[in-house]
Structure 1
Amino acid sequence: MVIDPSTSNQEWDLEIKPHDSVLNLHLKDVWNYRDLLWLLVRRDFVSFYKQTVLGPLWFFIQPIFTTIVFTFVFGGLAKIGTSHVPHALFYMAGTIAWNYFADCLTKTSTVFKDNANIFGKVYFPRLIMPLSIVFSNLVKFGVQFLLFLIVFFYFLFKYHYAPAELNGDKVEPNLFLLLFPVLIALMAILGLGLGLIITALTTKYRDLAFVVTFGMQLMMYATPVIYPLSEASEKYRPFIKANPMTGLIETFRYGFTGGGQFYLDSFLYSVVACFVLFFLGLVIFNKVEKDFVDTV
C-alpha cells in the first residue's frame, strides 16, 4: 500500500478508530464541541420554563418556600439548633448548596436513558450531555445564590446596627468564604461523577432510576442541611462525616455565617472523595457509552 505523503499531516474533523483504552477520555473532543455545550445549556434553561406562568421566578420561589417550611418545622417545632445563625440564613445556605448537587446528580443519572435516540443517530462526545446539565444547573444556582446574598446582607446589616433584634444569633463571615468557588466546583464534580456512575448502571438496571429519585430525599437528612454537624449525636457523626457533601456544606455555611466550625479532616476527605468519584465516573461512562445502545 502506498501512502500519499501530502495527506500525512492533514487534520481531520473525525477519525474512525478501533476501540481504545477506557482511560482515553477524549477530552480534546469535548473542547472541540464546546459550541454544542453552550447550545445545550441555553436549550435546557429556556425550554424548562418556556410554558410556565412564573418562568424563572421559580428559581426564587423554591428556596424561599423551602426555607420557610424548614424554619417553621425544624427551627420552630423541633427546636433544632443552628449554631447561633439566624434560621432563615442557616436553612437557605444549606438548601441552595444541596439543591445544586442533587439536581446535578439526579438529572445526570438518566442521561443514557433520556437521550438514547439522539446518541444512536448523531455523533458528538457523549460527555457533552451531562456537562450541559451541570452548567445549566449552575445558572440556576447562580440565581438562587443572589437570593441568598440578599438574605445574608440583610442579617449582616442587622447584626451590626440592631444586634439585640437577633436574640443572640450572629452573622460573622470569615476568610473561609474565599473557598466558595472551590466548593461549588467540588459539588459539581461530585454530582457529575456519581451521576455518570449511576447512568452507566441504569443501562442494565433500570430500577436505579427510581432509587435515585427518593434516595436523594433521604440522603439530605444524612447531610447537615437542616442541622449543623455539631448538633448531631456522637454516635452517628462518623456516618454523617462519611458523606462527601458534609464537609462542603459545613465549610460553605461557616465561611458566610461563622456558625459552627471548619472541619479540616471532613473538608479534605470531601476533596479526595470528589476527585476519586469523578474519575471513576468518567472511566465507567467512557466504557459504557461505546455500546450502551445495545442494552438501552
Structure 2
Amino acid sequence: MTEQLKGSASTREEDWDIVIKPSKGSAPDLGLVWRYRDLVWMFFMRDFTTFYKQTVLGPVWYIIQPSLTAMTYYIVFGKIANLSTDGLPPFLFYMSGTIIWSYFSVCLANNSDVFSKNANLFGKVYFPKLVVPLSVAMSGLVAFAIQFLLLLTVAVGMKIAAPDLALNYRFLFMTPLLLLYIAVLGIGAGLVVSALTVRFRDLVYAVGFMTQLWMYATPIVYPFSQIPERYHWFFYINPMTTPVQTFRWALLDAPALPASLCLANLAVTVAIATCGLMLFARAEATAMDTV
C-alpha cells in the first residue's frame, strides 16, 4: 500500500508542466523570463493604455514635452549662456540629446520601485518579476519612436531649407544598437535601486534628484568637445556619454567619441547591468516579506 502511494505521488510530480523551485538568489532565470514573453507584452499593453486612458491629448504629449524642453535649452543654454553646439543647429542638438535621455530616465525611474509598486500583484501570482522591468523598457520605446519621428521631420525640414546641413543614414543601424545599450543600462541601474529600496526606502525619493544631476553630468546641453581634458576621466565612467554623442554622430555628423571612451562606457554598463540582475535576484526571494 505504501509503495503504491509513493508511486502515485512521484507520478503526479512528473505530470506537472512547471515546477516552481526556491530561488538561489544568485542570478535570475533568463530562460524562464523568455517563456513568459507573452506576459511582457500584456504588461506593455496595460501600461500604455492605462497611461493615456484619461488624457485629452494622449500620445501628443510625447511631442509637446521634447519640443518645449529643447526650446527651453535653446533659450537658456544657446542664447543666454551662449554654449557651443559643435556647429549643429541648436534645436536639433538639444532635441537629439533630450529624446535619448528621456528614454533612459524612463527605464531608470520606472524600474526603481518595482517591488513596492507591484507588491499586491507579486504577492498573489507567481511569475518572473524581471518581466515587469522589461515591459517598462518596451513602453518607453513608444515614446522614443514618436519623438524620433519628430526629430527626423524637423531635421529633414531644416535640410530642405539649408542644403548644407549634414544628415547621415548611419542612424538606421546605429539607433537600434543605442536603444539596446540604453535599455540594458536603464534596467540595470533601476534594478540596483529597486533591490536596495527593499531595505532603504529613502532611495525612492532620491532617484529623481540623482537622475537630474546625472543628466547635467552628461553632454546633453553641451558638446563633449567643450569639456576640458582634465575632466575627461569622469565621462569615461559615465555610461550615458556614448549613446548621446554617438546618436548625434550617427544622425547629424557630430564629432565622434574616442574608441577608448566608448569601450570604457560599455564596460561600466555591463557591470551595472550584471550587478542589477544579481541584486534583484537576491531581493526577489525576500522582498514580499519586507515591502
Taking structure 2 as the reference length, the TM-score comes to 0.92
2:123 equivalent among 120, 127, 138: 120
Matched, 1:57 2:60: yes
Find the partner of 1:83 among 81, 86, 95.
Answer: 86
Partners in 2 of 1:257 and 1:11 — Cα distance? 59
Count residues in correspondence. 287
Q: Are residue 218 (structure 1) and residue 222 (structure 2) matched?
A: no
- Gaps (5+ residues) in structure 2? none
CA contact (8 A) 1:177 1:252 kept: no
Cα offset, 1:210, TM superposition: 1.0
| Residue matched to 1:295 | 290
**Contact 2:25–2:285 (CA under 8 A) maintained in structure 1:** no
Question: Using the alignment, how far apart are the partners of 2:86 and 2:134 within structure 1?
Answer: 36
> Using the alignment, how far apart are the partners of 2:213 and 2:126 within structure 1?
37
8 Å CA contact 2:245, 2:254 repeated in 1: no
Q: Residue 233 of structure 1: which of 228, 241, 251 is its match?
A: 228
Give % identity: 43
Tell me, in whole angstroms, the C-alpha distance in 1 between the residues paired with 2:205 and 2:64. 26
Provide the rounded CA distance (Å) in 2 between the counterparts of 1:5 and 1:202. Answer: 41
Equivalent residue in structure 2 for 1:22, among 26, 42, 58: 26
Aligned to 1:149: 152
TM-fit CA distance, 1:158: 3.0
Correspondent of 1:104 among 100, 103, 107 = 107
In 2: Cα distance, 1:11 partner to 1:191 partner = 40
Long gaps (5+) in structure 1: 164-169
Determine if the alignment matches structure 1 residue 180 to structure 2 residue 180.
Answer: no
Q: Distance in 1 between matches of 2:44 and 2:193?
A: 22
Whole-angstrom distance in 2 between the partners of 1:250 and 1:11: 54
Q: Aligned residue for 2:196? A: 201
**2:36 alignment partner AA:** Y
How far apart, in 2, do the equivalents of 1:232 and 1:135 lie? 33
Q: Aligned residue for 2:132?
A: 129
Distance across 2 between alignment mates of 1:172 and 1:109: 36
Q: Is the contact between residue 25 and residue 284 of structure 2 (CA under 8 Å) also seen in structure 1?
A: no
Letter in 1 for 2:51: F
